A and B are shown apart, each in its own frame.
Chain A
Amino acid sequence: DAKTTQPTSMDCAEGRAANLPCNHSTISGNEYVYWYRQIHSQGPQYIIHGLKNNETNEMASLIITEDRKSSTLILPHATLRDTAVYYCIALSGSARQLTFGSGTQLTVLP
């Protein structure tokens, strides 16, 4: 699976959009981009995934660049409960286990 690179930490004001970047420059054509988050003292939680098209669900939007070398997770209206570590994972079609990096600690400020 391709290595992903994320900033260590980010802050966001409550009610504003949180944009979390992820670089995956070595991603291959059959690798999906997955996002999970982990709120303190809880297990990780699935957010969204995509291959090459932009995706949106009730939690977030995922924007993948045309060359697929990077992506951005967007939380449109961040709340204090969105404070968590966010993990970007590149996952091939044959893989089943998730390979977590260090993630981005997002802190939503009141």
Chain B
Amino acid sequence: GAGVSQTPSNKVTEKGKYVELRCDPISGHTALYWYRQSLGQGPEFLIYFQGTGAADDSGLPNDRFFAVRPEGSVSTLKIQRTERGDSAVYLCASSLSGALYNEQFFGPGTRLTVL
């Protein structure tokens, strides 16, 4: 079946611009996660949604980062006034529910490059 998809696969932008990254989770998965992965490091948690609401946004680095999931399926990660340090692969994952034992299924990621 269809896995988690993310668009675009690559995004190049200029410093100061606004970007939106999209995640389509597996159908029926109520939990959705965003992570960020810098080169040579493991993914870092950004935000977790249970349904439409952000259950935990403690990983968002600052107020330039915002994410929404208005209908409880597709999610958009929004970054305002991008900085060169925002360059990374942004990963989205979904799971059947937020229960601990539900494995998280990851998408292929969006590679963001800020020039």
Contact = CB atoms under 8 A, between A and B. Distances in A.
B101 A99 contact: no
Interface residues of B, number: 25
A45 B106 contact: yes
A96 B91 contact: no
What is the size category of the interface that chain A forms with chain B?
20 to 34
A110 interface: no
A46 B103 contact: yes
Given A43-B108, A43-B109, A99 B45 contact: yes
Interface of A: 32, 41-46, 49, 85, 87, 91, 93, 95-103
15 contacts: A42-B106, A43-B91, A43-B109, A46-B103, A85-B42, A91-B100, A95-B100, A96-B56, A96-B98, A96-B100, A97-B45, A97-B48, A101-B42, A102-B41, A102-B42
